A and B are shown apart, each in its own frame.
Chain A
């Protein structure tokens, strides 16, 4: 039975970080990611009438975002003809260098590494969704944004001891949520 409803005024607070992390690994550009998310929210609003309530709000937004990402690559591919080929090795002395460039650098992160880390990131955000909203917000400010303890205390009007108790609770809940699949 359809039970999910759309609440567009809460989309940004609830899903923007999730959508951002989903997008960034696929397009690898903050500006493009921001544009795609903005387009997704607007497209979501426009097609809100088509939402049947069978999927969760987030799943529905992700399906729109996926289409936006594909469109982004299609647009880029249509500009392919404009690509130019660069020839770097003109002198005889530098001819041997190309070989060195072809050797894979084992310290370079592969696409698989990125995808796996992205899955981990999304799992963390998933778990954060299930804990108390205020705790999750404070945890994100401290852990992901790396904001100073004092600045967060001022922002949320709490004492440092309160902050550490909240962070501790959020971390305990997060660890419990992730334990099964990731530890």
Chain B
């Protein structure tokens, strides 16, 4: 842990990282305290934090799904197979 992050008073970039970690429930206890203290006196980060929470909410609402990696691999293979067949014919 760096000297800087041991302090309870952090700069905006570290607060932003803590805020992003908090969106994924991965901010530690100490990080949450640092973030709360920082937000108490930094209006810019407060705006950022509220926008970040809104984004998390929207992402949950959208309920996005990705296709499985196996399917993607299968499609990639099919496409390159067909392409090479076309080149040879």
- Tell whether, in the assembled complex, residue A121 and residue B67 are in contact, meaning their CB atoms are under 8 Å apart: no
A167 touching B58 in the complex, CB below 8 Å, given contacts A37-B75, A45-B79: no
Question: B20 near A167 (CB under 8 angstroms)?
Answer: yes
Say yes or no: is A92 at the interface (Cβ < 8 Å to chain B).
Answer: no
Q: Given that A120-B58, A149-B26, A174-B55 are known contacts, is A16 also in contact with B67, CB under 8 Å in the complex?
A: yes
> Residue among A117, A143, A178 with the most chain B CB within 10 A?
A143
Q: Is the CB of A42 within 8 A of B82?
A: yes
Question: Does B80 interact with chain A (Cβ within 8 Å)?
Answer: yes
Q: How many residues of A contact B (CB 8 A)?
A: 39
B24 engages A142 (CB within 8 Å): yes
A-B contact count (CB 8 A): 93
A171-B52, A175-B52 in contact; A140/B66 too (CB < 8 A)? yes
Give B10 Cβ to nearest chain A Cβ, in Å.
14
Interchain CA distance A130-B80 in the complex, whole Å: 26
Secondary structure class of chain A's binding surface, majority of residues: helix
Q: Say whether, besides A12-B72, A45-B82, A45-B83, A17 and B67 are in contact (CB < 8 Å).
A: yes
Q: Which residues of chain A have C-beta atoms less than 8 A from B59's C-beta?
A: 124, 143
Question: A179 — which chain B residues lie within 8 A by C-beta?
Answer: 51
Contacts of A11 in B (CB 8 A): 75, 79
Q: Which of B65-89 contact A (CB under 8 A)?
A: 65-67, 71-72, 74-76, 78-80, 82-83, 86
B21 touches A17 (CB 8 A): no
Residues of A contacting B82 with CB < 8 Å?
42, 45
Q: Is B75's CB under 8 angstroms from A120's CB?
A: no
Instruction: Please name all residues of chain B whose beta carbon is closer than 8 Å to the beta carbon of A8 when the two chains form the complex.
Output: 79, 83
A16–B79 touching, CB < 8 Å: no
Among A34, A149, A161, point to the contact of B67 (Cβ < 8 A): A34
A-B pairs with lowest CB-CB distance, top 3: A121-B62, A120-B62, A168-B20
Some 8 contacts from A to B, beta carbons below 8 A apart, are: A8-B79, A8-B83, A9-B79, A9-B83, A45-B82, A124-B59, A165-B17, A175-B51
Residues in chain B within 8 A of chain A (CB atoms): 16-17, 20-21, 23-24, 26, 51-52, 54-55, 58-59, 61-67, 71-72, 74-76, 78-80, 82-83, 86
